[in-house]
């Protein structure tokens, strides 16, 4: 398994590889713009080419682009629904420009709508985005913890979304371990992990799984509260992660950590812990 972190683009794309190297990354995830705003500036061609070249010479792969936080495609009556689809379109294009073969998106909140209406809204939005951008970028749906009105915390919900998308070959999954645990899938022990992997395979299919978000959980199994924590220090624990990252059906994947950080020290500690669990 190749390990990495979400890397900030503050200071520009030219700083990304340097930040990744300091943390010992083999793979990275990043935003292409401000994750908490709607404003989009065009990518600078020279900066984009310099970024692609720095990635090529760094041996960082694969690289994953993440959609900003604001888009919500699970509530069709939102005044921001159309803008959310536009946001996916923009980042599908930017992923291609930046040389990232994957774009990760949050499935969203259903708000006042029903689960079925939310599933339909997500699928319709993805169909619209795929119609507008016909490239080879794989859109990775990230499972949720089920906090509040979040949709996509059960594998069955994600399956229903995929079944309603026309270009299903363009969809993959990013499985966030903390979110899954908080939604009720036990990753803290061998039996729970085996049951969860089997459930995922039977419901969605392991062939669609392209990335793990390796986050421990500060809240207990089934809490439906999204609280990331340091590897081995949360409710999943070291033994859960040890079995997970060495599993023969998963060890070929990339694992991105989104663990809490104030500075580089926490990242270095989490990288040391996760690597110590490799067998």
Residue 134 tokens, joined: 């016909």
Per-residue burial over 138-163, b = 16 or more CB atoms within 10 Å of its CB, e = otherwise: bbbbbbbbbbeebbbbbbebbbbbbe
Name the one residue in this structure whose structure tokens are 């921001």: 80
CA end-to-end span of the chain, whole Å? Answer: 11
Residue 27 CA, distance from chain mean position = 13
Q: Do 248 and 176 touch, CB atoms closer than 8 A?
A: no
Q: Do 256 and 203 touch, CB atoms closer than 8 A?
A: no
Of 63, 67, 65, the closest CA to residue 54 belongs to 63
Catalytic residues: 36, 66, 69, 106, 142, 176, 179, 213, 226, 228, 258
* Partners of 109 in the β-ladder: 150
Helix (H) or strand (E) holding 29: strand 27-30
* Partners of 150 in the β-ladder: 109
3-state DSSP call for residue 241? helix
Of 273, 192, 193, the closest CA to residue 234 belongs to 273
Tell me the Ramachandran region of residue 224: left when phi exceeds 0, alpha when psi lies from -120 to 50, beta otherwise.
left
Bridge-based pairing of strands 216-217 and 228-229 is antiparallel
């Amino acid at each position: 398994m190749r390990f990495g972190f979400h890397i900030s683009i503050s200071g520009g794309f030219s700083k990304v590889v340097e930040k990744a190297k300091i943390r010992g990354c083999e793979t990275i995830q990043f935003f292409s713009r401000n994750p908490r705003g709607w404003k989009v500036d065009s990518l600078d061609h020279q900066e984009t080419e310099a970024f692609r070249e720095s990635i090529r010479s760094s041996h960082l792969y694969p690289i994953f682009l993440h959609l900003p936080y604001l888009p919500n495609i699970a509530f069709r009556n939102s005044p921001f629904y159309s803008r959310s689809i536009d946001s996916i379109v923009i980042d599908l294009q930017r992923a291609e420009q930046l040389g990232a073969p994957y774009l990760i998106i949050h499935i969203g909140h259903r708000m006042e709508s029903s689960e079925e209406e939310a599933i339909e809204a997500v699928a319709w939005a993805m169909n619209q985005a795929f119609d507008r951008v016909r490239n080879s970028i794989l859109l990775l749906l990230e499972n949720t913890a089920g906090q509040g009105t979040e949709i996509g915390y059960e594998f069955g919900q994600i399956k229903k979304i995929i079944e309603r998308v026309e270009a299903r070959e363009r969809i993959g999954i990013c499985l966030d371990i903390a979110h899954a645990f908080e939604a009720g899938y036990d990753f803290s022990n061998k039996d729970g992990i085996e049951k969860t992997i089997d459930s995922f395979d039977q419901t969605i299919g392991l062939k669609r799984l392209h990335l793990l978000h390796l986050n421990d959980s500060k809240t207990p199994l089934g809490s439906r509260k999204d609280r990331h924590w340091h590897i081995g220090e949360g409710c999943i624990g070291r033994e859960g992660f040890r079995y997970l990252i060495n599993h023969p059906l998963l060890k070929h994947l990339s694992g991105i950590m989104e663990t809490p950080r104030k500075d580089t020290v926490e990242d270095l500690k989490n990288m040391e812990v996760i690597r110590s669990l490799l067998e």
